[in-house]
Amino acid sequence: MLLLAVVVFTALYRFNTLGGALGGFDNDHFVHFAYARQVLAGEQPLRDFNAVALKGLPPSLMFEASAAAQRWLGETLRSEALLTVGAVSAAAGVTYLAAAAVSPSLPAAALTILTVLEAPKLYTYPTVLVLACVALLATRYARQPSLRGVVAFAVLAAVGFLFRHDYVVYVILPAAVLAGLVTRPPRRAAAHVAAGGAISLLLVAPSLLYAQQQVGLATYIRDSRQIGSRQAQHTDLEWPAFTRQDQEGRSVGLAGTLGLEQNAISWLYYLHIAVPLVTAFVLWRTREDEDPTRRRPALVSLAALGLAAMPFLLRGNVGARFGDVGPLIAVLLAGNAGLLFRRWPPESLLRRLARGLLATVVLAMTVQAVWIVGSVRQELDTSGWSDSAEKLFRQAARRWEELQMLPAAYWSEPLPGSVGVARYLNRCTAPGDRVLVMAYAPEIVPLSGRLFAAGVARVIGEEFVSERHQRQAVERWSRQSVPLVLTEPDELHAALGREFDRLEEYLRRHYEPAGSIEADGGLRLRVFARRSPGPTGTFGADRLPCFGQSGASISRLE
């Protein structure tokens, strides 16, 4: 019953809080969604478009899953919502099962819900799902080491690799630690690790062979490392700092300290970093004979994963990343509670009370911080959970209808920002045309109902690490019908940099500037129109170039 409650709460909480700009998705969400649209059209990474860092081997499940949802459930944002919300809801259910294996059910459910309220970004659902499955498999294997458990870890490692290559480390590391702790004799443990590695390699071998055939496996690995390194440079983390002043510069008392978002983020960050260390300390202080459920090996393996992975998972916009590691934190905290309060080496009543008081204070501060960072009060009201069952299900029905109409509804109604740009592209290009956007505005092309051109969803420096990438892009561009190109507002060469000389040369030779249009965030994009064959009409008051049979009449309709 608690399992069902956790899953239903998560599903309605996340689904009902969608809506608004871009259907409720972040613009970053449309990076992988754009690639999914290409896959839906029959294209594949490396062969038809540039590989994305750590996600570029078919079947790239990050893209294939969204493409399958579009294929089976309809080409709307509702299909993407059902996929991603369904995945985070399943991850919450799996997290609860793992937490309940190392602690009583009620604390397990409460801690799972707390991490749900941290609201992981929907496009990070593979991270949440993989970590939840790792935690559950760890608790199962700790209780009963078996070859079946090895196979389960191996399959998860392969699936994780096909979502994002570095996920394989998040599976193999705790699995290897766990095998070394619970499998006897050591030779059998080594055999389990070797068997798991062999099965995983066998499962991903077709993808590796594909990379070898397309560009060479060594080249693919080198490019992925370079792209990943460049992306990491944009997500460096400065250690969060606490403050005693609000945004207006007024001093805040101690009681209101965690009411400031900066302090709430700082508290949660250091808590997440500390949890694996605290787990190791608690395990050291408790005796092994106090662990009849064999939770200790599972917690050791998950603490090892936390120590290794937390610095990489919590970086960049750290306030938006806490939910990504929610399953790991929930299970470790549940395990700590189960061990800490089961029995402790002989001590005075005063020390027991002090320990209980400390745990209560930490929990209260954490709940307060999650409440602030996750905008929980507002989200509970929006979703309907803070009101009534009637509002809850009415909101779900409203979101169901709204998302089913998107993005097609954007194409018929004048709206500002990126959806207005998407409408322009949809109205002024033919269904078989493609569009190239030389700026970071990943939402525009997929919302326009068109495919991206030149094999690149976005022309930014971190995606081009060699001259070969430019040559490939220009060669693909030359074979495609690309009537419109949107670029950054500054001078083209300054905006793109020296890494894009070939693209700039091709653009200037075959296109001419034809105005500008404003996207989200006040970004005003320059519009370049193909010279030959040229526009057939104009669009809107700014008389932007329009292509296709409907182009001549568009200016009269706007």
pLDDT per position as a tens digit, 379-436:
999 999 988 889 999 999 999 999 999 999 999 888 889 999 999 999 999 999 999 9
Which among 326, 341, 343, 351 is positioned nearest to 275, based on CA atoms? 326
- Report the length, in residues, of the chain: 558
- Share the mean pLDDT of the chain: 87
Where is mean pLDDT largest: 10-24, 78-92, 140-154, 435-449? 78-92
Instruction: Say whether both 201 and 277 belong to one domain.
Output: yes
Instruction: Say whether both 437 and 369 belong to one domain.
Output: no
Percent of the chain's residues with pLDDT above 70: 86
Q: Is 434 helix (H, G, I), strand (E, B) or coil?
A: strand
Stronger pLDDT, 52 or 430, i.e. the higher one: 430
Stronger pLDDT, 338 or 306, i.e. the higher one: 306
Q: Is the pLDDT of residue 117 over 60?
A: yes
Q: Is the pLDDT of residue 493 over 50?
A: no
Where residue 463 falls among pLDDT bands split at 50, 70, 90? low
Provide the domain count of the chain. Answer: 2
pLDDT at 254: 57
pLDDT at 499: 59
Q: Is the pLDDT of residue 43 over 90?
A: yes
Instruction: Say whether both 372 and 412 belong to one domain.
Output: no
Residue 132 resides in a domain: yes
**Who contacts 288 (Cβ-Cβ below 8 Å, separation ≥6)?**
296
Instruction: Say whether both 462 and 323 belong to one domain.
Output: no
pLDDT per position as a tens digit, 223-278:
877 776 666 665 556 678 777 666 666 666 655 677 788 888 989 999 999 999 98
Instruction: Say whether both 374 and 414 belong to one domain.
Output: no
pLDDT per position as a tens digit, 527-543:
999 999 999 999 988 89
Residue 205 resides in a domain: yes
Mean pLDDT of 294-313: 89
Distances (CA, A) of 86 to 12, 35, 59, 62, 503: 10, 20, 21, 15, 40
Which of 327, 357, 378 is at the close of a domain?
378
Stronger pLDDT, 1 or 61, i.e. the higher one: 61
547: left (phi over 0), alpha (psi -120 to 50) or beta: beta
pLDDT at 94: 98
pTM for the complete prediction?
0.92
Where is mean pLDDT largest: 182-191, 249-258, 350-359, 485-494? 182-191
Residue 459 resides in a domain: yes
Q: Is the pLDDT of residue 554 over 50?
A: no
DSSP annotation string for 250-283: -B--GGGGGGSHHHHHHHHHHHHHHHHHHHHHHH
Which of 378, 395, 417 is at the close of a domain?
378
Residue 386 resides in a domain: no
Q: Is the pLDDT of residue 556 over 50?
A: no
Residue 397 resides in a domain: no
- Strand-pairing partners, residue 545, are 538
Helices 326-340/349-373 angle, 10° precision:
160
Where residue 523 falls among pLDDT bands split at 50, 70, 90? confident
Instruction: Say whether both 172 and 238 belong to one domain.
Output: yes
Instruction: Say whether both 442 and 356 belong to one domain.
Output: no
* 416 neighbors 518 (Cβ within 8 angstroms): yes
Instruction: Say whether both 186 and 237 belong to one domain.
Output: yes
Residue 422 resides in a domain: yes
Q: Is the pLDDT of residue 199 over 80?
A: yes
484: left (phi over 0), alpha (psi -120 to 50) or beta: beta
Residue 446 resides in a domain: yes
Which of 378, 400, 419 is at the close of a domain?
378
Where residue 482 falls among pLDDT bands split at 50, 70, 90? very high
> Rounded to whole angstroms, how far apart are CA atoms 227 and 24?
28
Residue bearing tokens 């030149």: 454
Q: How many C-beta atoms surround the C-beta of residue 355 within 10 A?
A: 14
pLDDT at 555: 42
Domain that holds residue 187: 2-378
Q: 160-174, 243-257, 348-362, 537-551: lowest mean pLDDT where? A: 243-257
Residue 387 resides in a domain: no
Q: Residue 401: in which H helix or E strand, if any?
A: helix 389-404
Where residue 558 falls among pLDDT bands split at 50, 70, 90? very low
pLDDT at 318: 84
Instruction: Say whether both 222 and 349 belong to one domain.
Output: yes
Instruction: Say whether both 438 and 335 belong to one domain.
Output: no
